[in-house]
Amino acid sequence: MDELMQEIIKFQTERDWKQFHTPENLAKSISIEAAELLEHFQWNKEYNKEEVVDELADVLNYCFLMADALDVNVKEIVLNKMKKLLKNIQFLNLKVFQLNIINYRGFYVSL
């Protein structure tokens, strides 16, 4: 992953694009590229894999540049987010289990 990040930053540096790559501009670019990715699935399930992969690469490149602009480690933030999601899932599973127990005992539950 570090090697990939270095290649992306090298590409950016060689073109002197860092001056334009503010978090705000990168967030816009991520959204725009994600919309272009989604466009391939707009009307049906058929898609050109090569075109989709190109759009996915654009989204990922901007995400890596955003991580660099924010001075965060991609691996760390992804793993931290996964930990947070796991806690939320465990909490939700507990709540569903509790609701199932309540329903099993004949109580009415309104969500």
- For 107, the token pair is 């109580």
- Under 8 Å between Cβ of 40 and 55: yes
Q: Which residue has the tokens 């992953």?
A: 1
Distance CA 66, CA 64 (A): 5
Is 90's pLDDT higher than 90?
no
pLDDT digits (tens, 9 = 90+) for 25-37: 999 999 999 999 9
* 47 Cβ neighbours under 8 A, 6+ residues apart: 40, 41
Residue 97, judged by CB atoms within 10 A of its CB (0-12, 13-18, 19+), counts as exposed
pLDDT digits (tens, 9 = 90+) for 52-78: 999 999 999 999 999 999 999 999 999
Domains of the chain, CATH where assigned: 1-71 (1.10.287.1080), 73-111 (no CATH)
